[in-house]
Amino acid sequence: MAMRSDANERTGRDEPPAEPGGGFAGFFGQALSGAALLALLTLHMVAQHFLVKDGLRRYADVVEWLKNPVVVLLELGFLVFVTWHALLGVRAILFDFGFSARIERALTWLFVVAGIATVGYGTWLVWTIVNAA
């Protein structure tokens, strides 16, 4: 199967894209997390905003909503995929600047740490809200 990505689009040609900036793993990681996000983001937007009066829950309603473990699981899953997709995307953009391999390795580790910190923060926040009730 021919593997291509969006990188050919930076040439501006109206041709199918090819050669991912972050390698095949980077492209496939973005496609996979992107597919998960299509479902999770749609679910998040509908359940958290479009089905809610005024589009945002008040504090008491947030606490009540987060008592449902399925909601907590889905929101944390959403956070994991959106963080993965966001940081991998920023990494691909930075790699386009043509840094040395040493700096690229350092950037990769920086994004891994940032990703873990982001998901850790989200988990702490949910834990704090649920236990404050």
Contacting positions for other proteins (CB under 8 A)? 1-6, 8-17, 20, 27, 30-31, 34-35, 37-38, 41, 45, 50, 54-60, 62, 82-83, 86-87, 89-90, 93, 96-98, 118, 121-122, 125, 128-129, 132
Distance CA(33)–CA(96), nearest Å, equals 21
What are the CA-CA distances from residue 33 to residues 37, 106, 116 (Å)?
Answer: 6, 23, 16
Distance CA(99)–CA(78), nearest Å, equals 31
CB of 99 to other proteins, least distance (A): 11
CB of 17 to other proteins, least distance (A): 6
Q: Say which DSSP state 8 is in.
A: G
CB of 129 to other proteins, least distance (A): 5
